[in-house]
Amino acid sequence: MSASWLRTLVRRYDPVVFDDPVRPLRVRLTASNEGAWDVELVDGHARIQTSRGRPHALITANSATWRAVVAEPLATLDAYLAGRLSVRHNLHVGVGFLSATSGATGPSRMRFRSVATRGARLSLVEAGEGPPVLAVHGLGATKGSFLPTVAALSTRFHAIALDLPGFGDSSKPIGAAYDAPFFANACIDLLDALELDRVHLIGNSLGGRVALEIALRHPDRVSRVALLAPALAWRRPRPWAPLLRLTRPELGLVQLAPRAIVDGIVRQVVPGAKDGWRAAGVDEFLRAYLTPAGRAAFYAAARHIYLDKPHGQDGFWPRLATLQADALFVWGQKDQLVPITFARHVADAVPHASQLELDCGHVPQIERPEQTNGAISQFFSSAARSPALVQSEREPA
């Protein structure tokens, strides 16, 4: 017999919040000392089923947390962000289900949907009302990496995070360029589909490079830009560049290593990947990478990051110097992928930009959510920017 809290969740399932299921989906909910149940989502309804097979999403919490989730609509996201409730396998399905059963009302509740644009069908999560903000994830990540940011900004902004084409739950066209201009065009197509003339942009890693490309190509569509450890063109010699120029990203259509090996390597490379946010991020990466189209997109995007032309005509750094939008660069002092030494090159190219250093790695919005999201909110809310300011968590201004 199912638990009373589970029956309450299922009764208040709202398909408007989670506009996804085109096929039956199974979400498994487990509670300590009570058991596990599957909830099937199909045709706009949620039904309790006996647990069987591998679910699309696995949600785990203790009984006290589940009862708190039922009693208080805002407790769902708080429990998830605090680590008292975990979501594994498919983050989109798991968090979408939690949002649809939270009982929350009003504009601040998260809403999951897909949008047909000129070039692709893009999956997104959004919340809030006010000036629009579009968040763009990094290489191998998904919109899930911006869930805390969407929640934090929803009280003052219409916050949107998307899955770029080739990643997460968005379309994965074979043979697409998957370079910065391609992704920038996809984001502009999304803004057109949503009828948004002008937005603030947030980008992490690859998403930072994409946000800059949008701001450089379409300055009339961008208000302010927040770049979180953005992927920037390498200024040093790139020894693998000649070989990569000859290598076709379509090789990703073939899985050269068994899934178990890929899974093991990723979990060794990502510290703390066995639980919490990092574990969910690894699940999201593997969910796309272990498909042929997802691998091809990943390899193509990674290839273009490495080959991004730094100097000369149409080089990244001369173009960056023409940036018109007010920009905030957030760097991780422990970032092993985008060294903080890039900060001085940014200061030379864009002296009017603000810069913030945090005691974290490559994903500030996950590792230091309060500082990162607070800085972004303040930056987007301010009417005018002061001269460039470099701060540090260790040495506050």
Q: What is the pLDDT of residue 134?
A: 98
pLDDT tens-digit profile of 379-393? 999 844 444 444 554
- Taking 50 as the threshold, does the pLDDT of residue 244 lie above it? no
Pairwise CA distance, residues 232 & 73, whole Å: 40
Per-residue confidence (pLDDT) for residue 289, from 0 to 100:
78
Model confidence band, residue 81 (pLDDT cutoffs 50, 70, 90): confident
Q: What is the pLDDT of residue 260?
A: 53
333-362 pLDDT, tens per residue?
A: 999 889 999 999 999 999 999 999 999 999
| pLDDT surpasses 90 at 209 | yes
User: Residue 105: its pLDDT value, please?
Assistant: 84
Provide the pLDDT for residue 384: 42
Taking 80 as the threshold, does the pLDDT of residue 269 lie above it? no
Q: How far apart are CA 282 and CA 255, in angstroms?
A: 18
As a whole number, mean pLDDT of residues 256-277 equals 48
**pLDDT of 365 higher than 80:** yes
Query: Could you read off the pLDDT of 224-234 as tens digits, one per residue?
Result: 999 999 999 98
The pTM score is 0.88
Residue 314 has, within 13 A of its CA and on its CB side, a CA count of: 4
Q: What is the pLDDT of residues 34-50, one digit of tens each?
A: 899 999 998 889 999 99
Domain residue extents for the chain: 4-100, 119-236+301-392
CATH number for region 119-236+301-392: 3.40.50.1820
Task: Count how many Cα atoms sit within 13 Å of the Cα of residue 270 in the half-sphere of its side chain.
Answer: 24
Predicted pLDDT at 237: 55
Contact 210, 203 (CB under 8 A): yes
Please tell me the predicted confidence (pLDDT) of residue 122: 97
How far is residue 275's CA from residue 282's CA, in Å, rounded to a whole number? 10
Q: pLDDT at residue 9 above 70?
A: yes
pLDDT at position 240: 43
Considering only residues 299 and 277, tell me which one the structure prediction assigns the higher pLDDT.
Answer: 299
For 158-181, write each residue's pLDDT tens digit.
999 999 999 999 999 988 999 999
Label residue 114 by pLDDT band (50, 70, 90).
very high
Q: What is the pLDDT of residue 276?
A: 59
pLDDT given at position 187: 98
DSSP helix/strand/coil, 89: strand
pLDDT of res. 266 = 45
* CB atoms inside a 10 Å sphere around CB 197: 9
Check whether 69 has a pLDDT greater than 70.
yes
- Please, are residues 355 and 346 in contact by the beta-carbon 8 Å criterion? yes
Mean pLDDT of the chain: 85
**Does the pLDDT at position 200 exceed 80?**
yes
How far apart, in whole angstroms, are the C-alpha atoms of residue 248 and residue 201?
31
Q: Dig out the tokens for 296 from the structure.
A: 């091809």
CATH of segment(s) 4-100: 3.30.1050.10
CA 188 to chain CA mean position, Å: 17
Over residues 269-281, mean pLDDT = 56
Residues in a beta bridge with 391: 356
**Per mean pLDDT, which of 61-70, 306-315, 368-377 is the most reliable?**
368-377
Are 256 and 249 within 8 A, CB to CB?
no
- For 10, residues 6+ apart whose C-beta sits below 8 A from its C-beta are 39, 46, 47, 48, 101
Give the H/E segment covering residue 321. Answer: none
Burial class (CB in 10 A: 0-12, 13-18, 19+), 22: exposed
* 1 pLDDT higher than 60: no
